[in-house]
Amino acid sequence: MSNTKTISPYLFTILLLSIIGLVGFIPLENFLLSCSFSSFQAEYIHLLAKTSVLALLGYVLIKKWNLTVISGLSTKYAWKFSYLNLIPAYLMLLGIASVLSADFTNIELPNVILLLLSFLGVGFFEEFLFRGVLQSLFLKKYSSLKSGIFLGTFIPAFAFGLFHLVNISPDEPIVPVLIQVIFATLIGFFFGVLLLKTNKLMPLVITHALINFFFSLQFLPNFKSEVAEEPASITSIIICLPLFIIALFLLKKIDKTEVQEKLSQSF
Report which residue type is found at 10.
Answer: Y
Residue 195 CA to residue 232 CA, distance in Å, equals: 27
201 with 133: CB under 8 angstroms?
no
Of the candidates 7, 1, 17, the residue with the CA atom closest to the CA atom of residue 181: 17
Residue 91 CA to residue 211 CA, distance in Å, equals: 6
pLDDT score at 24 = 84
One digit per residue, the tens of pLDDT, for the chain of length 267 reads 445 657 899 999 999 999 998 998 888 988 999 998 999 999 999 999 999 999 999 999 999 999 999 999 999 999 999 999 999 999 999 999 988 888 888 899 999 999 999 999 999 999 999 999 999 999 999 998 999 999 999 999 999 999 998 888 787 788 989 999 999 999 999 999 999 999 999 999 999 999 999 999 989 998 876 555 566 678 999 999 999 999 999 999 999 999 999 999 988
Give the CA angle between residues 64, 69, 73 to the nearest 5°.
Answer: 80
Torsion of CA 165, 171, 176, 179, to 10 degrees: 20
pLDDT score at 1 = 46
What b-and-e string marks burial along 150-160, b requiring 16 or more CB atoms within 10 Å of the CB?
bbbbbbbbbbb
Report which residue type is found at 42.
Answer: A
Cα-flanking dihedrals φ and ψ of residue 108, to 5°? Answer: -90, 130
Per-domain boundaries in the chain: 2-264
Cα-flanking dihedrals φ and ψ of residue 103, to 5°? Answer: -100, 110
Angle between helices 109-126 and 39-64 (to 10 degrees): 30
pLDDT score at 155 = 98
Report which residue type is found at 206.
Answer: I
